A = this chain, B = another copy of it.
């Protein structure tokens, strides 16, 4: 069973829209922050991966279900866990949660598929072993 990583995100004015809620595209930003911090938690910095390994991650597809709106000033938790991975791809399962005194509300859930690419040719490139090992360990 996959370990779940959790990253806190605060909602600022910049994230909201005139409907009084977080703008729907911005959940994708929150989810990417959590994926970036998930990688960082294992010691992988994406600027180093580009520079030293010519490796970039590209988003291949996203699916997001919006259940309840997040509001200005909300303190959210964004999760990231691994659904599966291949030689040159990682599938994340993510959710955006609001914790209030009494309850935990699921606001949005997403499936995000990443491809691992060579930063120059933009062709698929196998995940470096250290990342593959982490993926095996948290699966």
Q: Is A4 an interface residue (CB 8 A)?
A: no
Q: Is A20 within 8 A of B18, CB to CB?
A: yes
The number of residues on chain A lying at the interface, defined by a beta carbon within 8 Å of a beta carbon of chain B, is 36
Give the residues in chain B near A21, CB-CB below 8 Å.
Answer: 18
Minimum CB–CB distance from A95 to chain B (whole Å) comes to 14
Chain A 45-88 residues near chain B, CB threshold 8 A: 45-47, 56, 58-66, 69, 71-73
Binding site for B on A (CB under 8 A): 10, 12-14, 16-21, 23-26, 28-29, 32-33, 36, 45-47, 56, 58-66, 69, 71-73
Closest 4 CB pairs of A and B: A16-B18, A25-B28, A47-B73, A24-B59
